[in-house]
Amino acid sequence: MTWKYAKCLVTGGASFIGSHLVESLLEKGVQVRVADDLSSGKLANLSSVLSEIEFMKGDLKHIDVAHAATRGVDAVFHLAANHGGRGYIATHPADCAGNMALDNIVFGCAAKNDVEHIIFASSACVYPTDIQAEKRLLVEDMVDFSRRGGAFADEAYGWAKLMGELSLQAYHRQYGLKAAAARISTAYGPRENESHALMALIAKVFVRQSPFEIWGDGEQTRGFTYVQDVVDGLVLAAEHIEDGTAVNVGTDEFIRLNRVAGEIFTAMNWRPPAEILYRADKPLGVRHRALDGTFARRTTGWVPQVSLTEGIRRTVAWYMAHHDAADVAARLDNLLMERRYFPESG
């Protein structure tokens, strides 16, 4: 059986989520092209499939690069972005704002090249931050472009993703491009970098950090979503959404950071010997975040499959097999704040 599209471009395909998406598309028999400037992604993420894909290295903010990348493909999964964990996006607003230019150039070139469908990796950061002080599931229509005051996104990164959605809808209306926006929330899994909370905790356990630090009081929550579930959400969005509508791709469970830390301690068979140091002075983001899955279930059939315990088990196994404790310890402060990967250690 052939999949909906024979040839796809994955922008940012050397990334954490992108590389897993590439593998899934190849399994469906899709011909895959990856375009990535390797600013945070890395070729090692694609090592098992490199001989099966077409890889183009280049900055998609350059029109000639974006034009060449989008030529001759049926669909574009647009994941390329300047992005990182909370510490990164809080301290790199200008870099994240550049995503508005990147998105528009990719969409414009895709339209010129008669690409049939664009699937955009949007984010839960598009949701109004003020309503996330409480545990309230985020529903797609809580962002409303047609209502005055209908948006209040999270940092420059969130506003840029929101403008990406708006722009994509405009391309759909004006040029008839099929489009979908997947609002991804707090993905985790193998190949993620340590600027994201769950990976940061794994890295700190790996180097036996003492005193062990958790940002905030650890009672903040996120809908941690395993990367294969995220990839399935992107693929299902491609299959079922063509009118530019945004769909949530994130679990509806409010998972406390302290619970995540506890599960990681168990999975890595270690506990901090002294009291945990809670760092209220670090960038924290909203208090609570989890996504309502009703619309995703109804329109695409998406339901996350991987439990937190199983996802952490897989992620820890990968991390331990691919990292060196002395190397991580030497770079830890930098790794927690920056989106770049440290050099290969395995």
Ligand X SMILES: NC(=O)c1ccc[n+]([C@@H]2O[C@H](COP(=O)([O-])OP(=O)(O)OC[C@H]3O[C@@H](n4cnc5c(N)ncnc54)[C@H](O)[C@@H]3O)[C@@H](O)[C@H]2O)c1
Question: Which residues would be at the binding site for ligand X (CB under 6 A)?
Answer: 12, 14-18, 36-41, 59-61, 79-83, 102, 121, 123, 184, 186-187, 339
60 vs 180, beta carbon nearer ligand X: 60
Tell me how far, at minimum, the Cβ of 275 lies from ligand X, in Å: 29
Q: Would you say 49 or 272 has its CB closer to ligand X? A: 49
Tokens 């952490």, residue located: 312
**C-alpha neighbours within 13 Å on the C-beta side of residue 280:** 1
Q: Is the Cβ of residue 83 or residue 288 nearer to ligand X in the bound state?
A: 83
In the bound state with ligand X, the residue whose beta carbon lies nearer, of 253 and 276, is 253
Cα separation, 292 vs 310, whole angstroms: 22
Q: What is the dihedral of CA 10, 15, 21, 27, to 10 degrees?
A: 90
Provide, rounded to whole angstroms, the least separation between the CB of residue 207 and ligand X.
22
CB of 254 to ligand X, least distance (A): 16
What's the closest the beta carbon of residue 272 comes to ligand X, in angstroms?
25
Q: How far is CA 339 from the centre of its chain?
A: 12
- Compute the least distance from the CB of residue 184 to ligand X, in Å: 4
Instruction: Give the max Cα distance, the chain.
Output: 60
Residues 24-54, buried b or exposed e (16+ Cβ, 10 A)? Answer: bbbeeebbbbbbbbbbbbbebbbeebeeebe
Whichever of 194 and 263 has its CB closer to ligand X, that residue is 194
CB-nearer residue toward ligand X: 261 or 291: 291
Nearest-approach distance from CB 96 to ligand X, in angstroms? 9
- What Å distances lie between residue 268 and 119, 201, 284, 295, CA to CA? 36, 11, 25, 36
- Please, what is the minimum distance in Å from the beta carbon of residue 198 to ligand X? 9
Rounded least distance, CB 286 to ligand X, Å: 14
> Given the complex with ligand X, which of 112 and 276 has the nearer CB atom?
112
Closest residue to bound ligand X by CB: 41
Helix (H) / strand (E) containing 213 = strand 213-215
**189 burial via Cβ count (<10 Å: 0-12, 13-18, 19+):** buried
d(CA 157, CA 154): 7
Nearer to ligand X among residue 15 and residue 221 (C-beta): 15
Of 213, 180, 192, the C-alpha closest to 296 is 180
Q: CA–CA separation, 218 vs 236, rounded Å?
A: 33
Question: How is 125-189 classified by DSSP, letter by letter?
Answer: GGS-SGGGGS---B-GGGS-TTSTT----SHHHHHHHHHHHHHHHHHHHHH--EEEEEEE-SEES
Which residue type does 69 have?
A
Q: How far is the CB of 181 from ligand X (least distance, A)?
A: 11
User: 211 preceded by cis ω (within 30°)?
Assistant: yes
C-beta closer to ligand X: residue 81 or 200 = 81
